[in-house]
Amino acid sequence: MNTVTQESTRQWQAADAQHFLHPFTDHAGLARKGARIITRADNIYLWDSEGNKILDAMSGLWCVNVGYGQQPLIDAATRQMKELPFYNTFFQTSHPPAIELAELLAQVTPPQFQHVFFTGSGSEGNDTIVRMVRRYWDIKGEPARKVIISRFNGYHGSTMAGSSLSGMKGMHDQGGVIPDITHIEQPHWFEHGRPQNLSREDFGLIAAGWLETKILEVGPERVAAFIGEPVQGAGGVMVPPSTYWPEIQRICDKYGILLVSDEVICGFGRTGHWFGCETMDVKPDLMTIAKGITSGYVPLGGVMVGERVARALIDEGGEFNHGFTYSGHPVACAVALANIRLIQQLDLVRHVREDIGPYLAQRFAELADHPLVGEVQSCGMMGAVQLVKDKAASTLFEPDLEVGMLCRAHCFGNGLIMRAVGDRMIVAPPLVMTRAQVDEMMALIRRCLDLTLAELHQRSWL
């Protein structure tokens, strides 16, 4: 660390605090501390402006599936910028990268998906879904079907429709929600099933049954769709019981309701299949895609439209009055093409399913012996550790203590990016990880758990 770097770090922090409003950030708090300035990245590592090397166990923000510094993506962007940096796809025009990507997406997604609608982000994808499912039911002569059922603690983005679909009170309290969106409880076995001595499988059926209760409460003739993440990401890597999703599918089918899988995190290999719905063994009508589609190198999102909805839109719907300037942005599409081809070339989906995912699961399971750990879950390259106050009784810490944040601070201090959702510590590392890198990550996680435990004793919170 030299003085020049120190100086520029302070300058950046000052300018950042003065001019930059960050997403999901308490600015007064950030200004006091100063932002951490990330300057460079390679493979699964980041470097900050002080030269510290950090293992990025969150893949940026759940998106850098192929890791940083992948030359094919860089080359694809450069080539496309020279060739055609922008053109729209509105007025009966198209361009090769968007066409080729649409074709490739039809190949890698489940067979019911032959069409894609491009957006700039996952939030825009979910906004598109709200408009599209309501349009679908209008076309089908059932305009009363407007209500979309979602789940508490689900995350579907931060635009008006995205935040309304999301089940997060802190978001709803700021700016309100759009009408005709309602929520059911998440399938959180540790919170709801375990205290009642239910097996995970039995609890999964009960939790899915909450959807049917809600449908009957709203009136089946008013329900348009159900949306959920196969594995809830931002909510804390909540892996549902194996019985949950098939039962959700059965209930949607029973009432003719559209099933939407938000694949923004689970898509593009993260769960060990191309899409999370394949891991959960369900057949959605629509899928939201973003994040891993470009490994985050440039922004891109979209909606995969299943034949049921696509046929209505195309054959009966006329014009769908919806779209974004950057729908099918050529540079984003070129990068997505290179990214998906790289996933195929490196056989990353199988790597996650058969090698590195099971290895992560095995190493995560070993954390269960730690005195602070009440529950461990993983699915592909996502993992969660529930911190508890009393392991034997599975009692949780008082939320005000913010034990998760305390643990996260130790992670940051020790060269590891791990996220805290309440007292659940979560990871979603790049899919390209090797076993040695998983070992390196696990050693850091264990050290941070030990440091957290020591601090809790020191504060007499244990």
Ligand X SMILES: *Cc1c(COP(=O)(O)O)cnc(C)c1O
Element (H, E) at 4: helix 3-19
Contact 356, 370 (CB under 8 A): no
Query: Is the Cβ of residue 233 or residue 430 nearer to ligand X in the bound state?
Result: 233
Nearer to ligand X, 265 or 441 (CB): 265
Spatial distance between the Cα atoms of 166 and 183, rounded to a whole number of angstroms:
9
CB of 352 to ligand X, least distance (A): 18
Quote the least distance from Cβ 234 to ligand X, whole Å. Answer: 5
Give the side-chain half-sphere CA count within 13 A for 228.
34
DSSP 279-315: HTT---SEEEE-GGGTTTSS--EEEEEEHHHHHIIII
Residue in the shown chain whose Cβ atom is closest to ligand X? 122
Question: Shortest distance, CB of residue 119 to ligand X, whole angstroms?
Answer: 9
| Residue closer to ligand X, measured from CB, 235 or 374 | 235
- Looking at the Cβ atoms of 24 and 91, the one nearer to ligand X is 24
Smallest separation, CB 55 to ligand X (Å): 21
Min. distance of Cβ 165 from ligand X in angstroms? 8
Q: 121 vs 295, which CB is nearer to ligand X?
A: 121
Residues interacting with ligand X, by CB under 6 A? 62, 121-123, 126, 155-157, 229, 233-234, 262, 264-265, 290-291, 301
Choice between 154 and 241, CB closer to ligand X: 154
| Beta carbon of residue 188, minimum distance to ligand X (angstroms, whole number) | 16
- Residue 184 or 396 with smaller CB distance to ligand X: 184
Residue 197: count other Cβ atoms within 10 Å of its Cβ: 8
**Range 373-379, long-range pairs (CB < 8 A, 24+ positions):** 373/449, 374/190, 375/190, 377/237, 377/238, 377/239, 378/237, 378/239, 379/231, 379/237, 379/239, 379/271, 379/272, 379/279
Min. distance of Cβ 139 from ligand X in angstroms? 26
Q: How far is the CB of 446 from ligand X (least distance, A)?
A: 27
Cα separations in angstroms, 374 against 94, 176, 358, 387, 392: 53, 35, 20, 6, 8
In degrees and rounded to multiples of 5, residue 279 shows phi and psi of: -60, -40
Rank residues 232 and 243 by Cβ distance to ligand X and give the closer one.
232
Shorter beta-carbon distance to ligand X: residue 288 or 386:
288
Q: What token pair was written down for 136?
A: 């679908």
Q: Least Å distance between CB 300 and ligand X?
A: 9
> d(Cα 23, Cα 337) in Å, to the nearest integer?
28
Chain centre to alpha carbon of residue 127: 16
**Contact residues for 71 (Cβ-Cβ < 8 A; gap 6+):** none
Tell me the two tokens of residue 350: 């199988």
User: What gap in Å lies between CA 171 and CA 78, rounded to an integer?
Assistant: 38
